[in-house]
Amino acid sequence: MIRIRRRTAARTPAGVAGAEPGPGFEITFDGSPVHALPGQSVAAVLWAASVLSWRTTRVNGEPRGAFCGIGSCFDCLVTVNGLPGRRACLLPARPGDVVTTQEGDGHAGLLH
């Protein structure tokens, strides 16, 4: 006899781990509010908001977003709170973060 398991709320990753995320909060992306949950990376927050690219390449201005998702590549670079070159896949989102699309190397508007 074959048993078929039904997926229930308890069989979600959060249910299996016994995780209970705290209350959500907002960050902004290019001036628009985006909902976030505690523990989400900036990349996860943007993905959940259907944002798939948040950087342009230095040479051709091609759009980029998350590629590897584990911090090995640098496709997910984003500017957070005025600091360019942050890897969105590794950076936890924090309430009130101001995230902006990173153009090129992110230093064009900065004084040296």
At 71-91, the pLDDT tens digits run 888 888 999 999 999 999 999
Query: What is the C-alpha to C-alpha distance for residues 13 and 11, in angstroms, rounded to an integer?
Result: 6
- Closest by CA to 101, choosing from 26, 31, 25, is 31
In one-letter notation, the amino acid at residue 48 is A
19-48 confidence digits (pLDDT tens): 677 899 999 999 999 999 999 999 999 999
Query: What is the C-alpha to C-alpha distance for residues 103 and 97, in angstroms, rounded to an integer?
Result: 18
CATH T-level topology, domain 21-102: Ubiquitin-like (UB roll) (3.10.20)
Asked whether 112 and 66 are in contact (CB, 8 A), the reply is no
Q: Residue 9: exposed, middle, or buried by beta-carbon count in 10 A (0-12, 13-18, 19+)?
A: exposed
- Give domain limits for the chain: 21-102
pTM over 0.85: no
How far are the Cα atoms of 4, 12, 51, 66, 75 from residue 27, in angstroms, in the given order?
Answer: 41, 26, 13, 18, 21
